[in-house]
Structure 1
Amino acid sequence: MDKILSVMNAKGYRVYNTPTVDWNINIIGIRNKSLQPKKFDDTLIIFHNFMEHWYINYYPITTDPSIHYLREPVNNNGTAILVEGQYLTTYSIDKHKGQYDALCQRLGNVKVYRDNDRNGNLDIDSIRIETGMFGINIHKGSLNGDWNSDNTQFSAGCQVFADVRHFQEFMLKCKNARAAFGNKFTYTLLNEIDFE
């Protein structure tokens, strides 16, 4: 926990911390430095402080689009790869593709890399960054996944949970946070390298 707070503070990112009011949550993604689109090899961390104690959970996710969407982008400019950074009050609980509650990019812009060479590899090219409303949501993927599960075609740029049970637990925390602080959430995407 100390390392996470240290990295957040070093980057000047906001940490929500109200120990007298529960459910002021922080949602952090940590991208694996190896940039492999084949697996759910990234981590989502959710934590909050209540009564001077930090409560924290770790979940396997992917922050990367799958090979399917890298080869067949849904956008003519290329497949979206979320740029690392902090996106303040950009997300709200809404319906992902009109189907189920998820954390959806509805309240503000994000930055994405556009990978348009269709070779199935992740290409992070800072020249090809777009800012806008792209529907980079945080949603569920396979039914029973973990860090070794295949990311076949679950993400076209979204942040996707490997296990639906973890996602349901995450959404329960988000709904508690919505009741306490309103329907606006910040998502911060870090890199494994930040912790070295």
Structure 2
Amino acid sequence: MLEQTKNKYNLDILMNVLDKKGYKIFTQKYIPNIIGVRDIQNIDCFDDVLILFYFDENSQPSYQEYSITTLPGMYYLKNPPNTEGTAVLKEGQYLDLYRLGIHKQAISKRINKIFYKYLLSIFLKPFERKIYLSNSFMANKLEETINNLNSSHKALIQNIDEIPVYRENNRSGELKFEKNGFGTEINIHRASYLGKAIKVGNYSAGCQVFASRLEFDDFLEKIEKCTKKAGLVSIPYTLINKKDL
């Protein structure tokens, strides 16, 4: 269960800001409004806020805030993974940006296959392997454990080909917001599987990243509930600046 903390922002004020910017506010039942609030004062910290709100079957709002980063970590600012520079998502509203999927899916498939065979070879004798794998429950539990141990996991993944970003290529760790470009794989995912991360570090190369696994799990559970009830495939995302509020 999430720890109850005081909200930083007010829903009425937030909706007023979104309305003034001409952004869509989804009031239909169970359509999620996901709002990132960016604070650029501190780099490499989870100082940003992700707000999730939607309206339930009684048209009552459900509102939750989470600690995230909307900026890349210091590691990738100093070591850009792209020759054009590290991606920083531009503020704006993106109506079909996300869908449910697997963050780092290609890596997941490769690592899981190798690690799966490795575990079986170490912990199980040949005749035990056959018995173990014939038990579908045990086999599924082993695969679930492997999924949890590596960095790939269920998340919100980019649903459109490219989105506008800034490219930071000065390798100084400073944000300039000067060079324009386009980005792919700008996902919403968690940092560490183990507890709560303090520094962003190499957890984000441009993604929107949760500090806490517990908070991310809560967020994802709510998103899965909303998409099922509302029959959604694509999920909107809006990124604004703390100064707007």
Equivalent of 2:55, from 49, 52, 60?
Answer: 49
When Rg is computed on C-alpha atoms for both structures, the one with the higher figure is: 2
**What residue number does 1:153 align with?**
202
- Correspondence 1:185 to 2:235: yes
Tell me the equivalent position of 1:144: 195
Letter in 2 for 1:61: I
Aligned pairs for 1:1-196 (under 5 A) are 1-18=11-28, 21=29, 23-34=30-41, 36-50=42-56, 51-98=58-105, 99-125=152-178, 128-132=179-183, 134-142=184-192, 143-145=194-196, 149-179=198-228, 180-195=230-245
In structure 1, the gaps of 5 or more residues are: none
CA deviation after TM superposition for structure 1 residue 33, in Å: 4.0
User: Partner letter of residue 16 of structure 1?
Assistant: F
Q: Which runs of 5+ in 2 are unaligned?
A: 1-10, 106-151
Q: Which has the higher strand share?
A: 1
> Which TM-score applies when normalising by structure 1?
0.90
Which letter does structure 2 place at the counterpart of 1:190?
A: I
Change in CA separation of 1:11 and 1:108 when aligned onto 2, cut-off 3 Å: farther
| Counterpart for residue 137 of structure 2 | none
RMSD over equivalenced CA pairs, Å? 1.3
- Residue by residue over 1:98-117, the C-alpha shift from the partner in whole angstroms, topping out at 9 and shown as x without a partner, is 13210011235321000001
Aligned residue pairs total 186
Cα contact 2:48–2:69 (8 A) shared by 1: yes
> SS state of the match for residue 217, structure 2?
helix
Q: CA deviation at 1:28?
A: 0.4
Deviation at 1:72, TM superposition (A): 0.5
Residues in 2 aligned to 1:47 and 1:109: alpha-carbon distance in whole angstroms? 26
- Give TM-score scaled by structure 2 length: 0.73
Higher helix proportion, which one?
A: 2
- Detail structure 1 runs of 4+ shifted over 4 Å in the superposition: none
Residues 109 and 131 in structure 1, CA contact (< 8 A), matched pair in contact too: yes
Identity level (%) = 38
